[in-house]
A and B are shown apart, each in its own frame.
Chain A
Amino acid sequence: MGGWTGQFLRVNLSKGVCSKEKLDPTIARDFIGGRGLASKILYNETDPKVDPLSPQNKILFATGPLTGTGATAGSRYMTVTKSPLTGAIASSNMGGYFPAEMKFAGYDLIIVEGKSEKPVYLWINNDQVEIRCAEHIWGKTVWEVEDLLKAETDEEAKFASIGPAGEKLVRFACVINDKHRGGRSGVGAVMGSKNLKAIAVRGTKGLKVARKDAFLEVVMAAMAKLKAAPVTGQGLPTYGTPIVVNIINAHGFFPTRNFQEGVFATANKISGETMRETTLIRNKACFGCPIACSRVTEVKEGPFKGVGEGPEYEALWSLGADCGIDNLEAVTKANYLCNELGMDPISVGATLACAMEMYEKGIISESDVGRSLNFGDPEALVEMTEKAGRREGFGNVLAEGALRVAQKYGHPEFFMGVKGQEFPAYDGRGAQGMALNYATSNRGACHVRGYTIAPEVFGIPLKMDPFTTEGKAAIDKAFQDITAIVDSSGLCLFLTFGIGMEEILPMLEAATGAGYNMENLLKAGERIWNLERLFNIREGFTAADDTLPKRILEEPIPAGPAQGKVARLSEMLPEYYRLRGWDEQGVPTNEKLRELGLA
């Protein structure tokens, strides 16, 4: 067997003990790795109703069998835990260099449990693992931490760390890899609650695949296909994800001013095309990635001066259009702040947008905020981003996320999201498949659990009308299951714009030799999705949580190409449950659980 290292690391911070354990090959095969494997371990090892920010919660850093193997874009891992934002299962996907370095150090996963009395960081140098004092770096930003720890560990070490936001338990704090890569659902707050500031890793071991020649052959074929495909060969390398700004705006479901509109008149000012002409220095890749979609950028002068990476499409939307802001330099600055302080820019922008709407409607006052909070104010954006990350002033309110802000002021209807997690950058009213995906996603509103925008806008792998509900339940289920496979393998989801299961299956099989075929691999994806569902049911989630805000269900988009559209969830959800083999309450039937080996 290959791909997996076959070993994982368990770190108990309460006891100050690190131990190495062997990976169960059957569980590894059935749940693949990454998101799937870590969800299985979290499900088995934690009690239901555990407080996400208590020592009883665990956080898992989980690579997949393809991470670090030379597979195209095999750069990813997942941080899996119970989310302090949603109370549901959280799995945040990240790339960069850290995940592969974990594999070269000899670990498929790192499980962190308990809570340290004092701030600590973990230093993993191949077989040697130390829990070290982090009092001198507590309070520092992610960027400062990486530079300081590099000096006291190894020049070649890679880092996953939290900033002040994670320390202060901001509910949408993230773990940041390699300075610029974070994820959603508040996994950074869980790390902060354990007083774990960072993980530093250096690995110099080799990683084997089961059938080398077959593996290299399929990797070469995948590489050629990715280069030839328009999105992965041209669009993403040239413009990065920001290429999507103008496209979605032109389709009329680019959510604007907290989803009050679907078209942002000046969207081009925050588009990939404008970025390329102004802030972009060059592009950059994650480990082993032929696409290289990341943007290294700079704001050269003025109040928003800075250097860093991004923003990505989602952040251009959340910190931009959703807050009514078309000042690219301010949006870029706010994005840098999110990376430095360790926060998910989607939730930051979306929470601010929610507060801005309530401010303009007179529900939140100037004295509540300590300043004006109108849509379109770039100074407010930058100031509030910094304050949220440090829980200062009104930032302390924003740090709770949009749902809790809306509830605090007695108007939960202004929360635009699902299961406590704010929507990302597509209005479900304009893309019915995405609406269904948001409602059913196991981590709350999320676009990368079943990215139906691929068929609904880009025509990949086939063109579907975004406004119809027909066939959407089936495509959602298929996309969700395949995404679970991709996320669990250690691959990047963006590959699926250029290659499909015809490449992913042979890559995974040649790497692992675990006996995967199309049938059992697709079953594994479905198994992972159902396991996450079981986790959430155990936490008390029901079919009533598979819903969308009233605005999305009942208030039509006021103007533009998607004018008059609402999300017709009730036309899709029963069929979705049926296709999933769940009962009318959205609970997997015993028959389905037996079929998946989850009974």
Chain B
Amino acid sequence: MPKVLSINPEKCTACRSCELACSIRHLGEFNPARSRIKVSIFMEEAIYLPITCTQCDQAWCARICPTFAIVRDPVTMAFTVKDEKCVGCRMCALACPFGVIVVYPDKGKAEKCDHCLSTGGDPECVKFCVPLALEYRDEDVAVKAKQKATAMKLKETYKEVTV
């Protein structure tokens, strides 16, 4: 079943625990600057946005990669970077419209969110997200939940205009 990392910014508290979780899982140390998920905090507007790879269906990074290092998991449909194939050419970083795949000079390999598949699955950021702004779900469940939430909002509007 395809999986999604569902992000609900309304529930985010800007604690950035996801950044800590991501870095300890993939680097063995706490380092938010190297996290593959990043919370953008707009303090004045009180908006907190966790941003990470959306696992595009037609993934630009994978399509442009000259060594075919970015491969899709047939079950969850998330994209993983195969370190042994990656040459650090940065074409993926150039192609990604969201800036969520990065090559750091010390390692020289592309790094992106792969739903922790390369390290055994079960995304670490989700485990650290106490307010449940991040959830790892089957894609159809996530879609239905969003449709339901939209319907609830519309219902309120509908009530207002019909009363």
Q: Is the CB of B30 within 8 A of A292?
A: no
Collect the chain A residues with CB atoms within 8 Å of residue B128's CB.
70, 223
- Among B28, B32, B128, find the residue whose CB has the most chain A CB atoms closer than 10 A: B32
Interface-side segment among A12-20, A276-284, A483-491, A563-571: A276-284
B42 CB to closest chain A CB (Å) equals 11
Collect the chain B residues with CB atoms within 8 Å of residue A286's CB.
15
Chain A 60-102 interface 0/1 with B at a Cβ cutoff of 8 Å (1 = within) = 0000000011100000000000000000000000000100100
Collect the chain A residues with CB atoms within 8 Å of residue B127's CB.
220
Interface-side segment among A204-212, A417-425, A456-464, A538-546: A204-212
A561 touches B (CB below 8 Å): no
Q: Contacts A282-B46, A296-B46, A307-B44 given: A206-B34 contact, CB under 8 Å?
A: yes
B140 touches A (CB below 8 Å): no
Q: Is the CB of B13 within 8 A of A283?
A: yes
Collect the chain B residues with CB atoms within 8 Å of residue A227's CB.
130
A363 touches B (CB below 8 Å): no
A572 CB to closest chain B CB (Å) equals 39
Q: Is the CB of A292 within 8 A of B27?
A: no
Q: Is the CB of B16 within 8 A of A288?
A: yes
26 contacts between A and B (CB under 8 A): A68-B30, A69-B20, A70-B20, A70-B30, A70-B128, A100-B32, A156-B33, A204-B34, A206-B23, A206-B27, A206-B29, A206-B34, A207-B29, A207-B31, A208-B28, A208-B30, A212-B24, A212-B28, A223-B130, A281-B46, A284-B46, A284-B48, A286-B15, A288-B16, A290-B15, A290-B131
Collect the chain A residues with CB atoms within 8 Å of residue B16's CB.
97, 287-288
Q: Contacts A70-B21, A207-B29, A282-B46 given: A287-B15 contact, CB under 8 Å?
A: yes
Collect the chain B residues with CB atoms within 8 Å of residue A69's CB.
20, 30
Residues of chain A touching chain B, judged by Cβ–Cβ distance below 8 Å, are: 68-70, 97, 100, 104, 156, 179, 203-209, 212, 216, 220, 223, 226-227, 237, 281-290, 292, 296, 307
Assembly CA distance A296 to B47 (angstroms):
10
Collect the chain A residues with CB atoms within 8 Å of residue B46's CB.
281-282, 284, 296
Chain B 1-24 interface 0/1 with A at a Cβ cutoff of 8 Å (1 = within) = 000000000000111110011011
Q: Is the CB of B15 within 8 A of A288?
A: yes
A569 CB to closest chain B CB (Å) equals 40
B43 touches A (CB below 8 Å): yes
B29 CB to closest chain A CB (Å) equals 3
Chain B 104-133 interface 0/1 with A at a Cβ cutoff of 8 Å (1 = within) = 000000000000000000000001101100
Q: Is the CB of A292 within 8 A of B13?
A: yes
Collect the chain B residues with CB atoms within 8 Å of residue A212's CB.
24, 28
Assembly CA distance A208 to B13 (angstroms):
25
Q: Is the CB of B30 within 8 A of A290?
A: no
Q: Which 3 pairs across A and B sit closest by C-beta, in order of nearness? A: A206-B29, A285-B15, A204-B33
B38 CB to closest chain A CB (Å) equals 10
A72 CB to closest chain B CB (Å) equals 9
Assembly CA distance A210 to B124 (angstroms):
19
Q: Contacts A179-B43, A212-B24, A296-B46 given: A205-B17 contact, CB under 8 Å?
A: no
A144 CB to closest chain B CB (Å) equals 13
A259 CB to closest chain B CB (Å) equals 36
Q: Contacts A70-B17, A285-B15, A307-B44 given: A290-B29 contact, CB under 8 Å?
A: no
A543 CB to closest chain B CB (Å) equals 44
Q: Can you name the residue of chain A whose Cβ is closest to the Cβ of B130?
A: A290
- Given contacts A283-B13, A285-B13, list 10 more A-B pairs with CB under 8 A: A69-B20, A70-B17, A97-B16, A100-B32, A206-B29, A206-B30, A207-B30, A220-B127, A284-B13, A290-B15
A75 CB to closest chain B CB (Å) equals 8
Q: Can you name the residue of chain B whose Cβ is closest to the Cβ of A287?
A: B16
Collect the chain A residues with CB atoms within 8 Å of residue B32's CB.
100, 104
Collect the chain B residues with CB atoms within 8 Å of residue A205's CB.
31, 33
Collect the chain B residues with CB atoms within 8 Å of residue A307's CB.
44
B29-60: which have CB < 8 Å to A?
29-34, 43-44, 46, 48
The residue that A289 contacts in the complex, of B15, B34, B43, with Cβ under 8 A, is B15
Collect the chain B residues with CB atoms within 8 Å of residue A207's CB.
29-31
Q: Contacts A70-B21, A179-B43 given: A204-B31 contact, CB under 8 Å?
A: yes
B32 CB to closest chain A CB (Å) equals 7
Q: Is the CB of A288 within 8 A of B130?
A: no
Q: Is the CB of B31 within 8 A of A285?
A: no
Assembly CA distance A598 to B130 (angstroms):
42
Q: Contacts A70-B20, A220-B127 given: A285-B14 contact, CB under 8 Å?
A: yes
Assembly CA distance A361 to B100 (angstroms):
65
Assembly CA distance A206 to B27 (angstroms):
9
B49-89: which have CB < 8 Å to A?
none
B111 CB to closest chain A CB (Å) equals 14
Assembly CA distance A204 to B32 (angstroms):
7
Collect the chain A residues with CB atoms within 8 Å of residue B23's CB.
206
Q: Can you name the residue of chain A whose Cβ is closest to the Cβ of B31?
A: A206
B33 CB to closest chain A CB (Å) equals 4
B124 CB to closest chain A CB (Å) equals 9
Q: Can you name the residue of chain B whose Cβ is closest to the Cβ of A223?
A: B130
Q: Is the CB of B24 within 8 A of A216?
A: yes
A5 CB to closest chain B CB (Å) equals 11
Q: Can you name the residue of chain A whose Cβ is closest to the Cβ of B124?
A: A216
B121-153: which have CB < 8 Å to A?
127-128, 130-131
Assembly CA distance A482 to B54 (angstroms):
45
Collect the chain B residues with CB atoms within 8 Å of residue A179's CB.
43
Q: Can you name the residue of chain A whose Cβ is closest to the Cβ of B44?
A: A307
Assembly CA distance A262 to B29 (angstroms):
50
Q: Is the CB of A208 within 8 A of B15?
A: no
The residue that B20 contacts in the complex, of A284, A288, A296, with Cβ under 8 A, is A288
Collect the chain B residues with CB atoms within 8 Å of residue A156's CB.
33
B61 CB to closest chain A CB (Å) equals 23
Collect the chain B residues with CB atoms within 8 Å of residue A226's CB.
130
The residue that B33 contacts in the complex, of A104, A285, A296, with Cβ under 8 A, is A104
